[in-house]
């Protein structure tokens, strides 16, 4: 799916996801709102000021650094040249 990248571990298991907020920002907000609403009865780690600050910093960084696709074949050739 365009605009969504998975981070996988050594066994190929998905462990995290990177979302292009310029494409999926509204969906992320809806998801986050639903998550926050579900946990509104008790304070969770998502509500902690330090985490909220870091999330905001990540959102700002993501807006200023759009995702870039890499051509792995090209990168491999470049690395071979430098060896």
Q: Name the residue among 58, 53, 46 with its Cα closest to residue 18.
A: 58
The domain ranges of the chain are 4-81
Q: Is the pTM of this model over 0.75?
A: no
- Average pLDDT of the chain, as a whole number: 81
Phi, psi (deg, nearest 5) at residue 13: -85, 135
Q: Are 43 and 2 in contact (CB under 8 A)?
A: no
pLDDT, tens digit (0-9, with 9 covering 90-100), for 17-51: 999 999 999 999 998 888 877 766 555 666 677 88
Q: In whole angstroms, how far apart are CA 59 and each of 36, 46, 76?
A: 17, 15, 31
| Comparison of pLDDT for 68 and 16, the residue scoring more | 16
List Cβ neighbours of 59 (8 Å cut-off, separation of 6 or more).
21
């Amino acid at each position: 799916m365009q605009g969504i990248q998975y981070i996988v571990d050594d066994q190929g298991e998905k462990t995290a996801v990177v979302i292009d907020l310029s494409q999926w920002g509204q969906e992320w907000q809806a998801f986050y709102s639903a998550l926050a609403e579900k946990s509104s009865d008790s304070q969770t780690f998502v509500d902690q000021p330090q985490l909220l600050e870091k999330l905001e910093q990540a959102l700002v960084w993501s807006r200023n650094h759009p995702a870039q696709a890499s051509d792995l074949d090209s990168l491999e050739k470049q690395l071979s040249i430098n060896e």
